[in-house]
Chain A
C-alpha cells in the first residue's frame, strides 16, 4: 500500500486541499460512527508558481441546477464532441471553440495534472481597488508620528491604480476631501450620533444623479469625476498632497483631563467609512483600514466609558454579566460588518495600545470580511511597522498577494452534501441539492463570500455523507467535490480558480482498515479544533472541553486496538497516534482557555486560528520547540518540561510568539561574558544560532510574532513554561525514573496523565 502521507502531501501541493478522511465511508450511518466528520481544509488561492492561468471562459454544465465546470473527472466523447458532467451526468455539447480537441489534443482543463486550474475572464469593466484609511488621532505624540510615517510609506506600496481616502477621528469624525490644489477641506461629523448610509451620503454630497441610477452601473471616476473623486482619489494623482496632509495631522485637540480616557468615536468613524464606500463603490475590492490606539469611548459602538477608574471588561466581568456596553457595541459592529461584506469590501483593524482596544466587540469586522487584525503595543514598534508593510507584500511573480471579492461555490457528487464552512467568510444563502440540513459552522448554503483573501487564507468545509446504508455504492467508485472561486485579482482582473478532487468510497464494515490508513490526523485535528473554537464563541468553555473530550474518547473506542477493561493493552495505529496529543494541547491552548488572556487577546488568537493553513494551525495548537546545545546540531525536541535543560538554548514558535530561552548554565556563561573571549568563540556562535533562526521567522510571517528573549528564572520564561507539557511538576517530583528537566509549578494534568485517563475511558465496557 502506498504511503498515504505522500498522497496527502502531493494533493495538498497541487490542490490546496487536505481531507480528514481520504477514503470515504460509503453510508451516512458509518460516517457518523467515524466521529471526526468528513471535512476538508481548502486554501482557495494557494500559491502555484507552476500554474499559468488560461485566458478563456470555463466550460459549464448546461443543467441550470448544476453548472459544474468541465474537469478531468468528466467522461469525454471526442468524436461526438460531447462531455458528461461527473456531478449530474448531464451530457453537454462542447462549445464551437473546442472543435479541434481529441485524445491527443486535450484542453488543459481535462488533464489530470490540472485538477486545479485558473481562468482569467473578461466580465465587465475593471473596477479599481480602494484603500480607505480611518485613523485615530487620540494617540501620544510619538505614536502618532510613527503611525503617520507608516501611512506615508504605505502610499508608495499601494497598487498604482488604486484609489485612496482618509477619515480621521477622535471626539469628532473628519472626512477629508482630497484635492490637488489649494486649501484642504473636510466634513466634520459628531462622534456621538450614528447616521444611516443615506444620511452620510447626503451630507457628503454623494447622492447619485438620476442618470447613473438608471444605468445601474458602479460609478467610475473618469466619467463622473464630480461625485466620488472628492473623497477617493487615484494614489498616483494625490500622493504628494496626501503625504502632506498626513504629515500635518495633529493629535485630537480636545483636552483629556486627569483620570479620563480620550473620547474616541470609533463606531461612528467606521459607520461613515462603510457608508461612504457603499454609496460610491459597491462591489469592488476595497479595504477600510482602521488604525486605533485605544477603546471606543463615545457614541454607538463604545466599549468603555471615559473614566479611567472603570476598567475595560475582562472575562470575569463577562462571565458575571458585568459588561454594560458589550452587547450593544457588538451589535453595532456586527451590523457594519455584514453591510461591508454584502458590499464586497473588507475592514482591517490595526490596534496598537497597552490596554485593550475593543477587539472583542469589533472582531466581526475583520472575521466576516476577511480583513486583517493586528494587535500591538504601540505604532512605534517594529512589530506594527513591519507587519503593516507585509500587508502589501508581493508574491514571487511580482504580483500583490491580496485578492478581493471571492465567491466560493462548492459542488458535490450526489452521495455528499455540504454542512457548512468555518473561516473568514459570510454565507450567500445559496440553497440547492448539495446543501445539507444539518449545519456545521456557517451552513445552509453551498456558496460563501470572502471579501478579502490571500494565498494562505484557508477555509474549513464540512460535509455529510447522505448515502443510505442499504444503497451500496459500486466497487471502486469515487465521490467528488468541486471548489469554484471567482475573485478580483490585485491587477483588477477577474479570475476563476477551479479545483476538482475525488476520493474512493469504501464499505466501513469490510474495509475499515483502508479507511483507517487514509486518515489524516493533522487535518482532522485542525478541523475538529476549528469546530471547537467556533462552539466556544457561543457556548460555555467547560461544555466545549467536554464535547472535545467526548469526541476523542469515542474516536479511541472506535479505532483503538485493545482488550476490554485493560488500559495497558490500548494501541492506536500510526495514522492516529498523534491525534490525542493534538487534542491535549488544544485543550490547553489560548483558543479554548481564556484564563490568563484578556477578551481582546482571545479574540485576536481566535481570529488568526480561523483562517491559517494547516501547517501554521498546527503550530498554534502545538508549538514547535528547537534545542541548541554543544551536544549536536540544532534539533526539534518534545514540547515537554523534560526538554528544558540547563545547558541548552530553546527556541519556541507558537505562531504568535518567538521565545528564546537560555538554560540556567547558558545564562550564567553569558553573564560571565564568555562570548566576548576569543577562545570561546563557539559559545558566541551558539548564542547567535537561535537568533538567526528566529529572524527568518520574524522577517516573513504575517502578522509578525512577538519576540521574547528570556532565560531560566526570568519572568518571561512563563511563556515557555505554560506551553510545555508539564510531565514533571511539584506533585511528581519524586516519581520514578524522571530525567532532569525543570519541574513546572502547575496543577494542570500532564500528557501522560491525560493519556492514562483516556485509555481507561476508551477501554471501559461501561462507556
Chain B
C-alpha cells in the first residue's frame, strides 16, 4: 500500500547521480501477508512411536484377510519409515502431518487420511517416496476390512474388489 502523503517522483528528475531515497511511509504499516511462523515447527516433538505403533497395529489387523506378500511389502516400508525417522531424515512438516494422518486413520476417516498422504506425496516427494506408497496401501486395505466402519463423509463403502479375489487365486 503506497504512502498517502508521499510526494510523487519527479519524471524529469536528472539521472541518479545523486539517488534520492524512496518516499517514506508510515512506520509499522499494516503488515502484509508475512509468513506466519510455521505451526508445524512449534510442535516438532512427535515421537516416532506415536506414528509407527498405530500403523503397525493397522497392518496386523490386515494380515488375516490381505495377501501375505502385500502385508510384507507394507511392513518393509514401515521399517524404512521408522529408520528414516530415527535418523532424523524427515522434516518437521512431514513428521507433523504423519501424526495427523495416523490420527485420521485411527478414527476411520479414510478420505481425510488419504488426502494427507496425497499432500505429503505432492509437497515432499523426495522425503517420502520410498515408503509413502506403503502407507497409501495400508489405508486402502484397512478401509476395505470387513468390519471397518464407513467414513463420516458420503463416500460409500467400496465393494470387495474382484482383484483381491484373483490375487488369492495366484
**Chain A residues engaging chain B, CB cutoff 8 angstroms:** 149-150, 152-153, 155-157, 180-181, 221-222, 225, 234, 236-237, 239-240, 243, 247, 389, 629-633, 645-647, 664-665, 668-669, 672, 674, 678-683, 685-686, 688-689, 692, 739-740
**Complex interface bits, B26-47 against A, C-beta within 8 A gives 1, otherwise 0:** 1111001100000000000000
B84 CB to closest chain A CB (Å) equals 15
CB of A630 within 8 A of CB of B6, answer yes
Given A630-B8, A647-B9, A674-B22: A682 and B129 within 8 A (CB)? no
CB of B126 within 8 A of CB of A222, answer no
CB of A669 within 8 A of CB of B137, answer no
Taking a contact as CB atoms closer than 8 A, the residue among A180, A633, A688 that contacts B69 in the complex is: A180
Q: How many residues of B contact A (CB 8 A)?
A: 46
B77 CB to closest chain A CB (Å) equals 7
**Chain B residues engaging chain A, CB cutoff 8 angstroms:** 1-3, 6, 8-9, 11-12, 16, 19, 21-29, 32-33, 69-70, 73-74, 77, 117-118, 121-122, 125-126, 129-130, 132-134, 136-137, 140, 161-163, 166-167, 170
CB of B2 within 8 A of CB of A633, answer yes
Which residues of A are found within 8 Å of B125, using beta-carbon distances?
149-150, 152-153
Which residues of B are found within 8 Å of A630, using beta-carbon distances?
2-3, 6, 8-9, 22-23
Q: A155's closest neighbor in chain B, by CB?
A: B133
Which residues of A are found within 8 Å of B117, using beta-carbon distances?
156
Interface residues of A, dominant DSSP: helix
Taking a contact as CB atoms closer than 8 A, the residue among A150, A156, A664 that contacts B133 in the complex is: A156
CB of B21 within 8 A of CB of A674, answer yes
Given A240-B77, A680-B25: A181 and B9 within 8 A (CB)? no
Taking a contact as CB atoms closer than 8 A, the residue among B3, B19, B122, B167 that contacts A672 in the complex is: B19
Taking a contact as CB atoms closer than 8 A, the residue among B16, B32, B121 that contacts A665 in the complex is: B16
Which residues of B are found within 8 Å of A682, using beta-carbon distances?
1-3, 22-26, 29
Given A152-B133, A247-B129, A682-B1: A688 and B32 within 8 A (CB)? yes
Which residues of B are found within 8 Å of A247, using beta-carbon distances?
129-130
- The CA-CA distance from A739 to B12 in the complex, in Å, is 10
Which residues of A are found within 8 Å of B26, using beta-carbon distances?
682
Taking a contact as CB atoms closer than 8 A, the residue among B24, B129, B130, B161 that contacts A153 in the complex is: B129
CB of A239 within 8 A of CB of B16, answer no
Which residues of B are found within 8 Å of A240, using beta-carbon distances?
70, 73-74, 77, 133-134, 137
Which residues of A are found within 8 Å of B8, using beta-carbon distances?
630-631
- The CA-CA distance from A222 to B166 in the complex, in Å, is 8
Given A630-B3, A645-B11, A669-B19: A680 and B163 within 8 A (CB)? no
CB of B132 within 8 A of CB of A629, answer no
CB of B133 within 8 A of CB of A234, answer no
Given A234-B163, A669-B21: A153 and B122 within 8 A (CB)? yes
A397 CB to closest chain B CB (Å) equals 12
Which residues of A are found within 8 Å of B22, using beta-carbon distances?
630, 669, 674, 680, 682-683, 686
B116 CB to closest chain A CB (Å) equals 11
Q: A145's closest neighbor in chain B, by CB?
A: B126
CB of B129 within 8 A of CB of A239, answer no
Taking a contact as CB atoms closer than 8 A, the residue among A180, A239, A689 that contacts B136 in the complex is: A239
- The CA-CA distance from A460 to B149 in the complex, in Å, is 50
Q: A664's closest neighbor in chain B, by CB?
A: B16
- The CA-CA distance from A632 to B132 in the complex, in Å, is 49
B26 CB to closest chain A CB (Å) equals 8
